[in-house]
A and B are shown apart, each in its own frame.
Chain A
Amino acid sequence: MDLVLVHLFPDLLNLYGDRGNLVTLRERARRRGIHVVVKEVRLEDDLPADGDLYVLGGGEDRQQALVARALQQHAGTLRAAVAGGAVVLAVCGGYQLLGHGYRAAEGQQLPGLGLLDVTTEHPGHRARRLVGNVVARCTLPGVGSLVGFENHGGRTRLGPGVQPLARVRVGFGNNGHDGTEGAWCGTVFGTYLHGPVLPKNPRLADHLLTLALRRRHGDVRLQPLDDRWEEAAHLAAAARAGLRLRR
């Protein structure tokens, strides 16, 4: 079995240890004997159409503006890949760009890809940034709790076309008001959680891997791994956020 991972703009969107998500997906696939090909896409490159799983990280405002422009050129390819069952995971700045658009702090409007029915606005640098540890209950079956750290100025509102990825127990989530964190629709997932998100949430990582493998390899079921350290880190992170979890 093989898997094609596409890492979009690793040199621009890599602010919060984002490569941890890539490493986690790659290693968890390899440990199950799956052959993994990682393709890195930079500003001047074409977007590979054959990806099973596309990953976008977060970046500073300036990097995000550069990426927003480049992403528009890849919109067609990415939409076609998603229509063909490919999985997309986007974190923070990348998540904002998967939506309809992002209005930056200075009022500048960045176009989004419209892959998720969400809109994001930055209320300006005077508004408080949403920063801190997060514990949330994931809406995906079998995933349970999610832990991570959020740090964003933008407030994201969900439209009727998406589900929240999780319900916040500790932290702010999408906008600090409605208790939602992240969004998903079909095989497209967005979240504000870094930490990075996948190492300490191995069940979410496996959920994404399973979906991505099913695109070409039928009804795949992943064999369980020894996740003692992953679970220990998950529980420790929840405890630092003030919650004693049981898994």
Chain B
Amino acid sequence: MIHAVSALRLAGAVAAAKAVAGATRVLRLGGGTVLPGRVARWLFPRVLEELTGALDPVVVVSGTNGKTTTARLVARALEVAGLKTVSNRAGANLQAGLVASVALASDLCGRPRAQAAVFEVDEATLPAVLPVLRPRVLVLTNLFRDQLDRYAEVERVAEGWRRAFARLGPTAVVCYNADDPQVADVARLAPAGLPFGIEDVSAGQGALEEAADVRFCYRCGVAYRYSVVFLSHAGHYACPVCGWSRPAPCVRAETVRLVGTSGAEVLLRWDGEGFVVRSGLPGLYNVYNLVASAAACRALGLPADVWRRAAESVRPAFGRGERLTWNGVALRILLVKNPAGFNEVLRLVVSEQPRSLLLAINDRTADGRDVSWLWDVDFERLQGLEAHVTVSGLRAEDMALRLKYAGWPEDRTTVERDLARALRRARDRTPAGGALFCLPTYTAMLELRRVLFRWGVVAPFWED
């Protein structure tokens, strides 16, 4: 009897989610990636557990940066392996977003029209959803400073993860970034760990960046010694006191060749096997996403070739370096969320020597309401670039001031709060056939997307 009641409530919740999603689409209220989930959870709080119970395997990806791309890579690999896979796209990575994605991919009885699932989950939400989703594989990408107004402290997120491991199933495998000392330290408590990382020291850089936040051994409180740093605090490290050091990765990038904003060539080693993958995803941060997804595939028991085919077919998503053409100008949009990511994007952008840049900084909840983090980004790196910078967004003035104190000339900076106007002005500064690089925060990226949709340059978000 109880079972029948739950089945009815589940069907009701799924139907409501579908109705709400349909309505938001018809009314053009947006992508409909969250609200349907809220309604379904309100009608039936256990909806996520019920909907995902029959899915196998379930893969969960969490961490500060790289969630979306890593999850896309793993989902593509499962599809290549012939498994119909449901996943939460568009960064709807809180509980409501997860519910919406599965509800919309289920029939009215609440049976998912898929076998497997890949979810990206917000790092602070992870402890709450692990017991519900019971993933076969959990991927932890990294822990950087991000939205301190919401998470308070990176250390608090790490503590949440430590506690969450107790609720993992006994057969679950945790794929973790061995190069991130905080993630690797957290993973010491995982039931079964599979470390991944980058071996190629020639891809490293010298000093630690300003934004690097964990450089002290969790146990000893002493600064780690690094032999190489790849990005932010990710690298090869060891504690000089207790001797704990970077775990040797099982899945690793042996050699890395970055090809500007067009992609990367990576020699990947997976157990004894080594093979070259040519990816269209640019930047060293995407090499980490590639290796992370490879580790997940190995944990799932997929053949290496399935992963390689998937990795080579995935193109950058909107806001992650997707290539667009607009009025004879190549438009490259690269999302910036936190100092670690912003520094990597700047490195990438500077290597392309663009003549025009657009920086769009908002301070809404999803961006982080505190813009202090702009001072942890190495804008000094822009020095020497022959470019004009247009700044926009709700915090355009903060961005302009940061540039001024980074030594960027005031006469090569334009402040234009309105994003549509800023985009036009930045385009006017771009030579014909040249590239305009747009670096928006999350909500500025959504706004940019709406503007470009209005102008007929891109499709609406939910058609991704």
B398 A233 Cβ-Cβ under 8 A:
yes
Tell me the minimal C-beta distance from B12 to chain A in angstroms.
Answer: 35
Tell me the minimal C-beta distance from B261 to chain A in angstroms.
Answer: 27
B372 A195 Cβ-Cβ under 8 A:
yes
Q: Cβ of A200 < 8 Å from any Cβ of B?
A: yes
B148 A151 Cβ-Cβ under 8 A:
yes
What sequence of 0s and 1s flags, for each residue 12-55 of chain A, a beta carbon within 8 Å of any chain B beta carbon?
Answer: 10111111100110010000000000000001000000000000
Q: Cβ of B374 < 8 Å from any Cβ of A?
A: yes
B405 A129 Cβ-Cβ under 8 A:
no
Known contacts A14-B210, A236-B395; decide if A132 and B369 are in contact (CB<8 Å): yes
Selected from A23, A63, A240, the residue in CB contact (under 8 A) with B216 is: A63
B375 A20 Cβ-Cβ under 8 A:
yes
List the B side residues contacting A20 at CB < 8 Å.
372, 375, 402, 405
B373 A17 Cβ-Cβ under 8 A:
yes
What sequence of 0s and 1s flags, for each residue 346-383 of chain B, a beta carbon within 8 Å of any chain A beta carbon?
Answer: 00000000000000000100000111111110000000
The residue in chain A whose Cβ has the minimal distance to the Cβ of B155 is: A60
Tell me the minimal C-beta distance from B242 to chain A in angstroms.
Answer: 16
A61 B401 Cβ-Cβ under 8 A:
no
Q: Cβ of B35 < 8 Å from any Cβ of A?
A: no
A195 B371 Cβ-Cβ under 8 A:
yes
Selected from A27, A60, A200, A235, the residue in CB contact (under 8 A) with B154 is: A60
Tell me the minimal C-beta distance from A122 to chain B in angstroms.
Answer: 12
A236 to B375, CA, bound (A): 17
A66 to B220, CA, bound (A): 11
Q: Cβ of B152 < 8 Å from any Cβ of A?
A: yes
Q: Cβ of B397 < 8 Å from any Cβ of A?
A: yes
List the A side residues contacting B363 at CB < 8 Å.
240
List the B side residues contacting A237 at CB < 8 Å.
397-398
Selected from B372, B394, B396, the residue in CB contact (under 8 A) with A194 is: B372
Which one of A131, A232, A233 has the highest number of Cβ atoms from chain B below 10 Å of its Cβ? A233
Q: Classify the interface of chain A: helix, strand, loop or mixed.
A: mixed
List the A side residues contacting B90 at CB < 8 Å.
none
The residue in chain A whose Cβ has the minimal distance to the Cβ of B398 is: A233
B374 A17 Cβ-Cβ under 8 A:
yes
Tally A residues with Cβ within 8 Å of B.
38
Q: Cβ of A112 < 8 Å from any Cβ of B?
A: no
Selected from B153, B155, B398, the residue in CB contact (under 8 A) with A236 is: B398
Q: Cβ of B92 < 8 Å from any Cβ of A?
A: no
Instruction: Scan residues 299-356 of chain B and give those whose CB is less than 8 A from a CB of chain A.
Output: none
B375 A196 Cβ-Cβ under 8 A:
yes
List the B side residues contacting A232 at CB < 8 Å.
397, 400-401, 415
A230 B401 Cβ-Cβ under 8 A:
yes
Q: Cβ of B454 < 8 Å from any Cβ of A?
A: no
A66 B401 Cβ-Cβ under 8 A:
no
List the B side residues contacting A229 at CB < 8 Å.
397, 400-401, 404, 410
Q: Cβ of B149 < 8 Å from any Cβ of A?
A: yes
The residue in chain A whose Cβ has the minimal distance to the Cβ of B405 is: A23
Tell me the minimal C-beta distance from A224 to chain B in angstroms.
Answer: 16
Known contacts A17-B372, A195-B371, A196-B375; decide if A233 and B401 are in contact (CB<8 Å): yes
Q: Cβ of A184 < 8 Å from any Cβ of B?
A: no
A24 B405 Cβ-Cβ under 8 A:
yes
A129 B152 Cβ-Cβ under 8 A:
yes
A149 to B402, CA, bound (A): 16
B372 A200 Cβ-Cβ under 8 A:
no
Selected from B149, B215, B375, B398, the residue in CB contact (under 8 A) with A19 is: B375
Q: Cβ of A199 < 8 Å from any Cβ of B?
A: yes
A27 to B404, CA, bound (A): 10
A199 to B363, CA, bound (A): 18
Q: Cβ of A2 < 8 Å from any Cβ of B?
A: no
Known contacts A17-B374, A62-B221, A229-B397; decide if A149 and B369 are in contact (CB<8 Å): yes
Q: Cβ of B223 < 8 Å from any Cβ of A?
A: yes
A148 to B263, CA, bound (A): 40
A232 to B216, CA, bound (A): 38
B404 A16 Cβ-Cβ under 8 A:
no
The residue in chain A whose Cβ has the minimal distance to the Cβ of B407 is: A27
A195 to B370, CA, bound (A): 7
A24 to B223, CA, bound (A): 28
A151 B370 Cβ-Cβ under 8 A:
yes
Instruction: Scan residues 376-424 of chain B and give those whose CB is less than 8 A from a CB of chain A.
Output: 376, 394-398, 400-402, 404-405, 410, 415
The residue in chain A whose Cβ has the minimal distance to the Cβ of B148 is: A151
The residue in chain B whose Cβ has the minimal distance to the Cβ of A42 is: B223
A17 to B405, CA, bound (A): 13
Q: Cβ of A180 < 8 Å from any Cβ of B?
A: no
Instruction: Scan residues 66-103 of chain A and give those whose CB is less than 8 A from a CB of chain B.
Output: 66
A149 B149 Cβ-Cβ under 8 A:
yes
Tell me the minimal C-beta distance from B443 to chain A in angstroms.
Answer: 14
A42 to B363, CA, bound (A): 33
The residue in chain B whose Cβ has the minimal distance to the Cβ of A150 is: B370
List the A side residues contacting B152 at CB < 8 Å.
129, 151, 153
A229 to B221, CA, bound (A): 40
A153 to B401, CA, bound (A): 29
Q: Cβ of A178 < 8 Å from any Cβ of B?
A: no
A61 B153 Cβ-Cβ under 8 A:
yes
A27 to B405, CA, bound (A): 7
The residue in chain B whose Cβ has the minimal distance to the Cβ of A131 is: B149
The residue in chain B whose Cβ has the minimal distance to the Cβ of A148 is: B372
A19 B394 Cβ-Cβ under 8 A:
no
B154 A236 Cβ-Cβ under 8 A:
no
Known contacts A20-B405, A151-B370, A196-B375; decide if A11 and B397 are in contact (CB<8 Å): no
Known contacts A11-B215, A17-B376, A23-B375; decide if A200 and B369 are in contact (CB<8 Å): no
Tell me the minimal C-beta distance from B376 to chain A in angstroms.
Answer: 5
A151 B149 Cβ-Cβ under 8 A:
yes
Q: Cβ of A174 < 8 Å from any Cβ of B?
A: no
List the A side residues contacting B153 at CB < 8 Å.
60-61
Instruction: Scan residues 121-157 of chain B and give those whose CB is less than 8 A from a CB of chain A.
Output: 145, 148-149, 152-155
Tell me the minimal C-beta distance from B232 to chain A in angstroms.
Answer: 13
Could you list which residues of chain B lie within 8 angstroms of chain A, going by C-beta atoms? 145, 148-149, 152-155, 210, 213, 215-216, 221, 223, 363, 369-376, 394-398, 400-402, 404-405, 410, 415
Could you list which residues of chain A lie within 8 angstroms of chain B, going by C-beta atoms? 11-12, 14-20, 23-24, 27, 43, 60-63, 66, 129, 131-133, 149, 151, 153, 194-196, 199-200, 229-230, 232-233, 235-237, 240
Would you give 8 A-B contacts (Cβ < 8 Å), ordered by A? A23-B375, A23-B405, A129-B152, A132-B369, A195-B371, A199-B375, A199-B405, A233-B398
* 4 further A-B pairs in the complex, CB-CB below 8 A; given A194-B370, A229-B404, A240-B395: A15-B145, A149-B149, A149-B371, A233-B398
